[in-house]
Structure 1
Amino acid sequence: MGGKVCKGRGTTPDDFDKQVEYLKSKFKLTDQQIVQYKAFFNDFSEHKKTIERENFRKVYQILYRNEDAAEFADRVFDAFDTNQSGSVDFVEFAAGLTMMDSKQTEQKISIAFNMFDKDGSNALSEEEVTDMITAYYKLLGPHISISPVEVAHELFEKMDLNSDQKVTYDEFTTTAKNDPKLLAILDPQV
């Protein structure tokens, strides 16, 4: 049941006014939030239309002052790129940021699950969890001394409630609701 950021929303409106109305109605964004997101989007977009993967990586490298941010940025990019076009348009960008910063646990769980679910199978393998935790630790920098492989293994074991060697969206949701630290990956602190 995981699904991309705006699963089922169809194509993004081309007209900026329609985009604004969509974001206000679907995500309850204010005019001020839209202006802030649009300014940030325009700083990294190609001709103010889309952000390509390479530019998205640059955003994370700048924000975290870390050249090793690319793997984590790719996970976020893939979660934002709901139509799998290879680029992120303004609506995908604003919706993704809103969900990452949401106070609504369900929205945060959805985007976090999609960041872990690299192959889009709606079930997490231990390898996917390890890859995500490793990318997260690289983003945080070399001063982290805990082994990401050990952390990932413990996390996978904790999430795999029925011990079938995969973590479904429901298992992920149950774990995230009982352990809010799992969602901390959406707001990495350096």
Structure 2
Amino acid sequence: MGGSSSTQVPKEDLAFLLANTSFSKPQIKQWYKGFMRDCPAGQLSRQKFLEVYSEFFPGGNAEEFCEHVFRTFDADNGGTIDFKEFLLAINITSSGQITDKLNWAFSMYDIDGNGTIEKAEMVQIIAAIYRMVSNGKDTPAETAEQRTERIFIQMDKNKDGVLTKQEFINGCLSDDVLCSMLTASAASK
């Protein structure tokens, strides 16, 4: 660690990422090189994350959505994202199994981390997505509240007003459109 150059992935990180992602050794090394070029201190700050993420949505406001994504990527709640956290998150959101993506998405929607998604939490995330993808002209057919209500009608099987992880996953797995909307790919829709 102390003596390793910033161009080489620490051996223990490389071994961990090879075992826990679908990336090959050369791919991990390439990701690391880019990460260290953009984040020479080895930590991705909230501000830098927002700058990078906002480039993908130039017509909208990505700040609030980025906060939720950042919180979910920052697994240790350290206030920054290190390379391992970054690559694990990239792996899940880009090439992970659907259940991994759904678990990740559930964590993002469960803002308070209590193990359930309340309607207010889902409204907050959906509203943030709307603001991010908005180009100032297009307005969604439904408000965030209306869309949340429709999702809860479909997913909240026991009608208790909250979604458990199992209800969320089962609901997404039984509806491809809903799954696409609620997982990380929702940002590109």
Aligned residue in 1 for 2:151:
155
| Offset at residue 34 of structure 1 (A) | 1.5
Matched, 1:37 2:35: no
**What is the one-letter code of the residue matched to 1:153?**
E
1:167–1:137: structure 2 CA closer, same or farther, 3 Å change rule?
same
Is the CA contact (8 Å cut-off) linking 2:173 and 2:179 kept in structure 1? no
Aligned with residue 106 of structure 1, among 99, 103, 108? 99
Is the CA contact (8 Å cut-off) linking 1:24 and 1:30 kept in structure 2? yes
Aligned residue in 2 for 1:7:
none
| Offset at residue 125 of structure 1 (A) | 0.3
Is the CA contact (8 Å cut-off) linking 1:44 and 1:59 kept in structure 2? no
Aligned residue in 2 for 1:93:
86
Task: After superposition, give the CA deviation of every residue in 1:81-125 in whole Å (9 maximum; x if it has no partner).
Answer: 111111110000000011011351111111110110110011000
Distance 1:31 1:63 in 2: 27
Aligned residue in 1 for 2:172:
176
In percent, how many aligned pairs have the same letter?
Answer: 25
- What is the RMSD computed on CA atoms of the aligned residues? 1.8
* TM-score, scaled to structure 2: 0.84
Task: After superposition, give the CA deviation of every residue in 1:131-188 in whole Å (9 maximum; x if it has no partner).
Answer: 1111111111132332222112211222211100110001001101111333424122
Q: Which gives a bigger RCO, structure 1 or 2 (Cα 8 Å, sep 6+)?
A: 1
3-state SS of 1:100 partner: helix
Distance 2:12 2:119 in 1: 41
**What is the one-letter code of the residue matched to 2:78?**
S
- In structure 2, runs of 5+ residues without a counterpart are 1-8
3-state SS of 1:68 partner: coil
| Offset at residue 44 of structure 1 (A) | 3.9
Distance 1:123 1:160 in 2: 11
Task: After superposition, give the CA deviation of every residue in 1:16-39 in whole Å (9 maximum; x if it has no partner).
Answer: 222111111111311343134324
- In structure 1, runs of 5+ residues without a counterpart are 1-14
Aligned with residue 129 of structure 2, among 136, 139, 142? 136
Counterparts in 2 of 1:36-75, with a 5 A limit?
Answer: 36-45=30-39, 47-66=40-59, 68-75=61-68
Larger radius of gyration: 2
Aligned with residue 126 of structure 1, among 119, 126, 131? 119
Aligned length: 175
Distance 2:96 2:75 in 1: 21
**What is the one-letter code of the residue matched to 1:54?**
Q
Aligned residue in 1 for 2:188:
189
| Offset at residue 41 of structure 1 (A) | 2.5
3-state SS of 2:44 partner: strand
Runs (4+) of structure 1 exceeding 4 A deviation are none
* TM-score, scaled to structure 1: 0.84
